[in-house]
Chain A
Amino acid sequence: MTLHLAVALDGAGWHPAAWRAEDAQPDRLFTPGYWADLVAEAERGLLDFVTFEDALGLQSSLLNEPDERLDQVRGRLDAVLIASRVAPLTSRIGLVPTTSTTHTEPFHVAIGIASLDHISRGRAGWRPQISARPDQVAHFGRRAPFPPQDYSPDRDPAFRRHVRDLFAEAADVVEVVRRLWDSWEDDAEIRDVATGRFIDRDKLHYIDFQGDRFSVKGPSITPRSPQGQPLVTSLAHDTVPYEFTAQGSDVVYVTPRDREDATAIVERVRAAEAAVGRTEPPLRILADLVVFLDARDAAGRKTRLDDLDGAELESDARIFTGTPGELAALLLGWRDAGLAGFRLRPGALPHDLAAITRGLVPELQAAGAFRTAYDTGDLRGRLGLARPASRYAKAS
C-alpha cells in the first residue's frame, strides 16, 4: 500500500522565524508567484494535495490575544482565493483551503469550494476550522464575547462547554455545505428548447436545514461540481473534534507523538466513528508532522531559527529534524499504526518543501511506498473515495 502525502502551506513555513532563513522569500509572501511556485513544486513531487492555512485574525504568539511582535510573519491572504489563483496553473494536485465555521457563512463557503472544484476540475478540498480566539469575535461583532482559550489539562469547564458548542456549530456548517453541494443533481441542466426550460426544477432541491443556531433554505446557486462532494478534511486532537470529523469529514489530520501514540489515536478515531454512527467510508487518517529536512544538520538549522525567534519551537504536532531518508524510515514505521499517510508541515519555505519533493519522495518511491506518476482521477478518487450520488437524487 502506498502512502498519501500532503503538505500544509502557511506563510514562510511553520517556524515563526522561518522568514529569516537564508533562502526564505519574505518579500514575496503576498504575491501570487510565491504561492504558484510552492504549489508547482508540490505537484512536481506528485503529492496528493496541499492545504492552505487561514484565520480571521492576525497571527500571534499569544493564545488569547494579538501580540505586538514585529519580528514574526503577520498578515494573510484568503486561503480559498489563493487555492483558486493557483488552480489554472496546476493540473493534478489537490487544493485544500481552510475556512472558519464560526464566522463565515456556510452558503458562501459552499459556493466558494464548489467553484474551486469547477475551476480545478475536481481537485478541491476543504478544511473547516472552528475559531475559538476571543479577539476574532470582535472582528465581526455578531456574537457574545468568547471566554479566554484554555487548553491546560485542568481547563476551565466554561471553555470546555464553549469549544463543544463551536464544534456542534461546525458540524451544522459542514452538514449545510454538504447538502448545498448535493442540492443540484448532476443532470439538473437540461436546456429543453421545446418547453423553454434551462433546468429541470425537480432536480434542484431545497435543503431546508433547521439547526439550533441557524437555518438555510437552499438550493445552492452553483451547479454540482466535478467531485460532487469536494474532499472534506479536518484537524483533530481530542474526543470532541474526533467525533466532529467522524460526522462529516473524509480525511482527518491527527498529531501522534510516536508510533504507539499513533496506534492509540487511530483507535480513538475509529471509536469516534462508531460513537457517531458514521455511514461514510472510514476516515482516511493522516498524521501531521512539522519537518526540518537536510542532508546534514537539520537540527542545527532549526536551532538557529529558534535562536532568532528567542524561543524553542512549540507545536501540537511532533517536530522532526533529520535527513529525508530518516523521515522516510519514520513514516514507513508509523504507517502500520493504521495511518493512510501524512500531512507534512514544512518548517521553512521553500527549503523544507523542496526537501520533501526532491529528497523524501524519491526515498519513499524507492521503498515502493509512493506513486511514481499521478493517476487520472480526481482528488476523492486519489484518496480511494467514490463519487457520491446526490442525496436528493431519486434512486432509479
Chain B
Amino acid sequence: MTKQIHLAAHFPGVNNTTVWSDPASGSQIDFDSFRHLAQTAERGKFDFFFLAEGLRLREAKGRIHDLDVVGRPESLTVLSALAAVTTHLGLAATVNSTFNEPYEVARRLATLDHLSGGRAAWNVVTSFDAFTGENFRRGGFLAEADRYTRAKEFLRTARELWDSWAPDAVAADRESGRFLRPGGVVPFRHRDRHFDIEGLFTTPRGPQGHPVIIQAGDSDEGREFAASSADVIFSRHSKLEEGRAFYRDVKGRLAAHGRRPEDLKILPAVTYVLGDTEAEARERAVEIRRAQVGPQTAIYFLEAVWGRDLSGYDPDGPLPDIEPNLDEGVTKGHAAFRRDRGEVVAKWRALAEEKNLSIRELAIEVSAPQTFIGTPRAVADEIDHFVQTDAADGFIFVPHLTPGGLDDLVDKVVPLLQEKGVFRADYTGPTLRDHLGLSPRTPNRTETPHPTETPNRTEEI
C-alpha cells in the first residue's frame, strides 16, 4: 500500500542556516513573519508548524556570538497567537524539561490545546547545561546523566496531570447546579527522583487528551525515550541509507513498549533548494551554502571544535596545523561537537586533504548539508522514494528564508505529491492527532502511583 507522507515546517530559526543577508529576508521577530510561514504551511496542508527553543545566547571567546540570527519570541506565546490565524495546522512548541516544572508546562500545553481546538504538540527537550541554567532560579544543577531520567519523569508527571481531569469533568449544567461532575477531577500525587508533588491540576483535559509528543534525541537513550513515550521523532538522518537504518532501529523498539510501528512517526529535519533545471538548483544551493557559511562563520565553526582562538587563520586557507584543546572550549551554548572532538578534527583533516578544501569549504561541506536539491518534480519523487522505502514517514522542512522560505515548496512540490496520491488534498480532521493518524489519548487515571509503590527518594542521593 502506498504510504501517505507527513509534512511539517520549522521556523527558520536562530542558527547559521538561516540566510539573513538575502534581500528577501524579513524580520525574525515580527508576528507577520510567523503568520506568513504558518499560513503557508497550512495552505500546503502540513501536519504542524514547529518552533525551536534557546534559553541563552551563545558565546564565543567569552562574548556573545554575533554571527548567527538571534532573537526569538517565547514559543507557546507565539503559537497561541498563531492558533487565531490558522484553523487546522498543528502547533508544536519546544519546551525544555530541565528549566521548567511539570505543573506549569502541563497547564500551558493543555491551554494551547484548548485555544487551538486540539492542535498542540510538545517537543520535549533536555539540557545538561549549567551555562543555560544561569538564567534560571534553579540554576544548572543537573548532571548530564540525569537529563533523560528527568525528561521521562517530567513527561510522565505531565500525563498524570492531564489525566487527573476526566474528559467529561466539566458538566457546566445549570439545571443541576453542577459545574464539575463528581469524581471528574481527582488529586494527583507524584513522587520520584526528580519530582515530589501533589495537589489538584488547574486545567481541563484538552481536545486531544494529551498534546502530541515530539522528541529529538538520537542517542540510545533518546531512541528508547521516543519509542516508549513519543508520537513523533524528529531525526537528523536525512540520507537514505542512514534513514532506513534509523527507521528500522526505532520502529523495532516499539513492540517492547506495547506499541505498534504506526504509533511513532519518524520525521527527519531536511532542507531543500528548487530550480527550473537540475543545474540551476545546484547553482542556487551553492550560493545559499556560501551565504550560510561566511568567512567569519567558518572560523567560528572550527573554533567550536578546536577549543581555541583561530581568528588568525585565513578562512580561505588550509585547516589549522595546531592541535585542538580538548580540555576547554571557547564557545558556549553550541550543542554540536561536545564529544569526540579529537576524532572530529582527525576526520576533517583527512577530508580536507582528500578534497583539497579550505577552512570555509570544509565548513560548508560538513555543516548542515542540503537534503533535496533539484526541480520540483525531482524533489517530489525523492521525497516519495524516501517515504515509500521506509527511510522516513515524512519530513520537517527547515527553510532558509524568513518569511518566504516555504512558498515554493508549497506552490511547486506539494501539488506534485498530491497528484501522486501520496499526500492529502485536504485535512480530514480538526486535530493534529487526526493529521498524524494517531489515536486520541484515553485517560489512564490509575497511572498516578500510589505512595506505597513509589521509590524512596533518598536512595538516589
Q: Interface on A for B, CB 8 Å cutoff? A: 19-20, 24, 26-27, 29-32, 36, 55-58, 66, 70-78, 80-82, 84-89, 103-108, 111-112, 114-116, 118-119, 121, 135-136, 138-142, 184, 188-189, 191, 193, 195-201, 204, 213-219, 221-223, 308
Contacts and interface: CB of A to CB of B under 8 A. Distances in A.
A201 B65 CA distance: 7
B422 interface: no
B197 A138 contact: yes
A29 B66 CA distance: 45
13 contacts: A26-B172, A58-B185, A66-B200, A70-B180, A76-B107, A76-B202, A78-B203, A87-B84, A104-B104, A198-B68, A201-B63, A222-B74, A308-B177
Interface in B283-310: 294-297
Contacts of A66: 199-200
Contacts of B135: 107, 216-218
A115 B77 contact: yes
Contacts of A188: 71
B170 A30 contact: yes
B204 A75 contact: yes
B137 A197 contact: no
Interface string B167-210: 00110101001111110010000000001111111111000000
Given A75-B185, A75-B202, A81-B111, 9 more contacts: A56-B103, A71-B178, A78-B111, A82-B115, A107-B99, A108-B74, A141-B195, A204-B57, A223-B29
Contact of A141 (B35, B174, B196): B196
A124 B326 CA distance: 46
A75 B77 contact: no
B73 interface: yes
Nearest to B70: A199
B29 A141 contact: no
Interface string B72-116: 111011101101110000000000000111011001101110111
A112 B74 contact: yes
B100 A108 contact: yes
A74 B185 contact: yes
Contacts of A138: 197-199
Contacts of B165: 75
Nearest to B72: A221
B2 interface: no
B134 interface: yes
A213 B74 CA distance: 25
A57 B104 CA distance: 10
Given A32-B84, A135-B199, A204-B64, A88 B177 contact: no
Interface in B127-179: 134-138, 165, 169-170, 172, 174, 177-179
Contacts of A30: 114, 170, 204
Given A218-B135, A223-B71, A84 B77 contact: yes
Contacts of A88: 31, 35, 81, 84-85
B56 interface: yes
A181 B117 CA distance: 32
B458 interface: no
Q: Which of B29, B111, B198, B202 has the most CB of A within 10 A?
A: B202
B71 A75 contact: no
B67 interface: yes
A70 B136 contact: no
Contact of B179 (A55, A71, A107, A213): A71
Contact of A216 (B67, B134, B170): B134
Q: Which of B63, B99, B177, B199 has the most CB of A within 10 A?
A: B199
A35 to B, nearest CB: 8
B179 A74 contact: yes
Contacts of B55: 107, 221
B242 to A, nearest CB: 31
A221 B170 contact: no
B81 A105 contact: no
Given A29-B172, A219-B57, A118 B64 contact: no
A215 B20 CA distance: 34
Q: Which of B136, B170, B172, B181 has the most CB of A within 10 A?
A: B172
A76 B84 CA distance: 19
B297 A196 contact: yes
A63 to B, nearest CB: 16
A57 B202 contact: yes
Interface in B15-29: 20-21, 29
Given A74-B185, A140-B197, A26 B74 contact: no
A360 to B, nearest CB: 27
A81 B115 contact: yes
B21 A193 contact: yes
A39 B348 CA distance: 58
Given A75-B203, A204-B64, A116 B20 contact: no
B80 A84 contact: yes
Given A56-B202, A138-B198, A221-B71, A119 B101 contact: no
A203 to B, nearest CB: 10
Nearest 5 pairs of A and B residues by beta carbon = A115-B73, A26-B172, A217-B134, A196-B296, A214-B137
A216 B133 CA distance: 9
Given A88-B31, A108-B100, A215-B134, A222 B71 contact: yes
Contacts of B77: 80-81, 84, 111-112, 115-116, 119
B107 A78 contact: yes
A188 B29 CA distance: 13
Contacts of A58: 185, 200-202
Given A75-B170, A88-B84, A119 B78 contact: yes
B69 interface: yes
Contacts of A31: 114
Given A141-B196, A221-B56, A222-B73, A197 B67 contact: yes
Nearest to A172: B137
Nearest to A140: B101
